[in-house]
Amino acid sequence: MIFSIIVPVCNAETFLEDSVMSAVSQKLPGSFEGDGESDFFEIILLENGSKDSSPEICDRLAKENRNVHALHMGRIGLYAARQQGIRRAKGDYILSLDADDRLGGDALLKLHAALDKCKNDTGHDAPDLIIFDAAAMGGDKKPLFDRPFDAGKIYRGDEKKVFFDKFCTDDSLNSMWTKCIKRSIADLGKTDLFLGYGEDLYQTAAYLDRAGSVMYLDEVLYEYRVDAASMSTTYSEVYLDNQKIAWEGLDEVAARWEGKSYDETISRRKSLTCTIAMTRLIYSDMSMLQKRHKLKKLLSDPFYVEYSAYPLPDWAPEEAAFVKKLQMKKSSRLALLESAFTRGVKNRIKGMVKHGI
């Protein structure tokens, strides 16, 4: 089998079937046409403690499609779900698909062609890691990021530094769903590690470190669903706790790559993590009393204290840049609470207008 597509599922009933069918309906190479889809690829659904109808949808899709498998894991988190899927995978290469997104219709066909071309043209083994592009669903298929890599080139040895540089500087390489990973490097273990946030950063750091060769495929093979919700809709203390684990993983491998040369850029990315945590808190739907209590705790967190002092990356979102200014005020606690109160009032007024009150 060539490909295994891992789909973590948690409360995804709205778009789950559309997502899975984008994988089921993949175009096949000529040698696999007919009844060969189950030999060419499989889809593993990792149902992860859903409270909606997702478990039933997973079971039905597995019953209706012979190359779809549904596993019910309980609430284990996104990282463990992916890793459990990888451990059960039979494909030579692993892809990730989020349960509200779509795989491009010819994604596997193009990946298969790229792998064959590598073997035929270079005489070397196919790359350990292929990075490709994604675009917003329903848009003009413009790639989400500009990539500074040579299309079709296989990077080895010191040439891989261009990927390390990019990964430590911004978040354009974070996502798990723009990667095709050789199964021999995909199993990271630690399946008892609960990571719901930052798991893509944690895993990508490990894969770039493990990969002996990396190829960039200049093709949009993935369609992501644009979430209209702001990052300021919910808050959980787990967010920052999970991110700390993810950053520890990157710190460990970055030190092997280039010693301390990435410290400044990584610290600025950690500063953005702190600002996102703050944004989620002050603009959440919690009461002001809850916000005051949790704000005090966040402001005293050692990770927050250390890294919130760094400037944000130049590419930080506009909302984060606004909150950062509040964080840096002399009376930051008061400024943050005032902004939280003002946003809350505006949201209540919008709600009243919407419902004709």
* The pLDDT of residue 231: 45
Q: Which helix (H) or strand (E) holds 218?
A: strand 213-224
Q: Is 103 helix (H, G, I), strand (E, B) or coil?
A: strand
In Å, how far from its chain's centre is CA 66? 28
| Residues pairing with 215 in the sheet | 130, 154
CA distances from 74 to 9, 78, 86, 186, 199 (A): 10, 11, 17, 22, 18
| Token pair in block for residue 269 | 């990315």
* Domains, in order of start, for the chain: 3-224 (3.90.550.10), 237-354 (no CATH)
Spatial separation of the C-alpha atoms in residues 50 and 70, rounded to whole Å: 13
Paired tokens of 354? 């919407």
Per-residue pLDDT tens, the chain, 357 aa: give them.
Answer: 799 999 999 999 999 999 999 999 998 777 566 555 667 899 999 999 999 999 999 999 999 999 999 999 989 999 999 999 999 999 999 999 999 999 998 999 999 999 988 877 666 678 999 999 999 998 788 999 999 999 999 999 999 999 999 999 999 999 999 999 999 999 998 888 899 999 999 999 999 999 999 999 999 999 999 874 544 467 899 999 999 999 999 999 999 988 889 999 999 999 999 999 999 999 998 999 999 999 999 999 999 999 999 999 999 999 999 999 999 999 999 999 999 999 887 776 766 566 566
Cα torsion at 250, 171, 190, 40 (round to 10°)?
Answer: -130
How far apart CA 338 and CA 342 sit, in angstroms, is 6
How far is the C-alpha of 194 from the C-alpha of 204, rounded, in Å? Answer: 16
Beta strands per DSSP E along 15-146? 41-47, 68-72, 93-96, 102-103, 129-136
Alpha-carbon distance of 258 to 256, in angstroms, equals 6
Q: Is the four-CA dihedral 38, 96, 59, 78 of positive or negative sign? A: positive
Specify the pLDDT at position 260: 86
Q: pTM higher than 0.85 for the full model? A: yes
Are the beta carbons of 130 and 2 closer than 8 angstroms? no
CB atoms within 10 A of CB 189: 9
